[in-house]
Amino acid sequence: MRLGVLDVGSNTVHLLVVDAHPGARPLPAYSHKAELRLAQLLDESGAIDPEGVGKLIDTVQSALEVAEDKGVESLLPFATSAVREASNADEVLARVKAATGVELQVLTGEDEARLTFLAARRWFGWSAGRLLVLDIGGGSLEIAYGMDEEPDAAVSLPLGAGRLTSGWLPADPPDAADVRALRRHVRAQIARTVGEFSRLGSPDHVVATSKTFKQLARIAGAARSTEGLYIQRELKRRTLEDWVPRLASMTALERAELPGVSPGRSGQLLAGALVAEGAMDLFGVETVEICPWALREGVILRRLDHMPTE
C-alpha cells in the first residue's frame, strides 16, 4: 500500500510518500518539504503565535493535497519538539484538526529516540551488534542504545540545532564568547546522560542520523546524496574537530557555499556541529556511520509491524 508520513518538525514539515508492505523494505516514492521553522515562531510566553498557527494549517493542507495527488491510502501524521513544547500545544492541535481534519500525534522525546533506533536497527541489521544511535533535530538531540529493536536506554535532550542557534548564537558570524558558552552548555547537558549509557557496555557500532549529521559528513568529504543510499558515509571526530572553528568563523551565507549545505540550514550548522562534537567526545566515539533511515522510517516500520499480513 502507499503510505504517507507527515512529519511536523522544528525546522520543516515533511511529507514522505512510500510504497510499503509488511515484511518488505519501504520504497520512497515522493518527498514534499516546506520550511516552516516552528521553533522560531514562538512568542514570549512560549506559544506558537497566531501567524505561525495559520502557516502550519496552510502547510498541512498543502501536504494533504500532495498526498491525495500521489495516491496515499493512509496518512501517519505526527509532531515533534516544536509543537510538543509549545505552551499552547493543545490549542494548536485542535485548530489544525478543525481546519484540516488531521489529528497530529505528538511524539515524546523518548518516542523519537526509540523509533529512530528501530529504523537504524532495521537498516544495519542484527550483525551490527550493540548500537549507539545519535540524532540531532531542530529542537532536540536523541540518544539510544541497545542490542534489540527496542533500545535499553533512550533519552532526548533540548539540544536541537535550531533551538540552540536562536537561543545562543544571535550574531552572524557568531561571537566567540557565545560559541564558548554554548559549547559548555552542550557538554554539560550531554555529560549528565553518559553514565546511564556507559553502564550498559561499549557499543559495537555507532550510527548517526539527521540532516545535521549528513551535512557535517558531506563537508568532511562523504559522498554526495546523489550517489545513492548504499554508499557508506562516515564522520570522524578528528575531522569534525577541525571543522568546528572554521564553521564558527563563517557567516551563514559562507556556510551555505559548502558542499551539501542548504541555505535554510546553514545558519544552524555550527550549533549542530558543537552538539555532534560534544556527543562523540563524551561518549568516546571516534567515527559514526551515517544511517539513511531515521524517525520517519521508524514510524513507517512500526505501523507495518502492526498491520496484518495477507
Bridge-based pairing state of the strands 131-136 and 141-146: antiparallel
Give the torsion sign (CA, 217, 219, 221, 222): positive
pLDDT at position 308, please? Answer: 65
Residue 309: band (very low, low, confident or very high) from pLDDT cuts 50, 70, 90 = low
Residue 42: band (very low, low, confident or very high) from pLDDT cuts 50, 70, 90 = confident
Give the residue ranges of DSSP H helices in the chain.
50-69, 81-84, 89-100, 109-124, 161-168, 176-198, 211-219, 237-248, 252-255, 263-266, 269-282, 295-305
Q: Identify the residue with better confidence: 191 or 24.
A: 191
Q: What is the pLDDT of residues 195-220, one digit of tens each?
A: 999 999 999 999 999 999 999 999 99
**Spatial separation of the C-alpha atoms in residues 205 and 203, rounded to whole Å:** 5
Q: Which CATH class is domain 2-106?
A: alpha beta
Q: Indicate if the pLDDT at residue 285 is higher than 80.
A: yes
**Spatial separation of the C-alpha atoms in residues 82 and 19, rounded to whole Å:** 28
Residue 41: band (very low, low, confident or very high) from pLDDT cuts 50, 70, 90 = confident
pLDDT at position 44, please? Answer: 81
Residue 94: band (very low, low, confident or very high) from pLDDT cuts 50, 70, 90 = very high
User: How much of the chain exceeds pLDDT 90, in percent?
Assistant: 89
**Spatial separation of the C-alpha atoms in residues 65 and 148, rounded to whole Å:** 38
pTM of the shown model: 0.95
Q: What is the pLDDT of residues 236-279, one digit of tens each?
A: 999 999 999 999 999 999 999 999 999 989 999 999 999 999 99
Query: What is the location of CATH 3.30.420.150 in the chain?
Result: 109-295
Bridge-based pairing state of the strands 141-146 and 153-157: antiparallel
Average confidence (pLDDT) over 98-105: 97
Q: What is the pLDDT of residues 163-183, one digit of tens each?
A: 999 999 999 999 999 999 999
Q: What is the pLDDT of residues 118-155, one digit of tens each?
A: 999 999 999 999 999 999 999 999 999 999 999 999 99
Query: Burial letters for 229-255: b for 16+ Cβ neighbours within 10 Å, e otherwise?
Result: eeeebebbbeebeebbeebbebebeeb
Query: What is the location of CATH 3.30.420.40 in the chain?
Result: 2-106
Residue 65: band (very low, low, confident or very high) from pLDDT cuts 50, 70, 90 = very high
Q: Indicate if the pLDDT at residue 106 is higher than 90.
A: yes
CATH of domain 109-295: 3.30.420.150
Q: Indicate if the pLDDT at residue 310 is higher than 60.
A: no
Is-contact 41 48, C-beta < 8 A?
Answer: yes
Is-contact 260 290, C-beta < 8 A?
Answer: no
Helices (runs of H) and strands (runs of E) counted in the chain: 12, 11
Q: Indicate if the pLDDT at residue 17 is higher than 80.
A: yes
Residue 88: band (very low, low, confident or very high) from pLDDT cuts 50, 70, 90 = very high
In angstroms, the first-to-last Cα distance of the chain is 12
Residue 43: band (very low, low, confident or very high) from pLDDT cuts 50, 70, 90 = confident
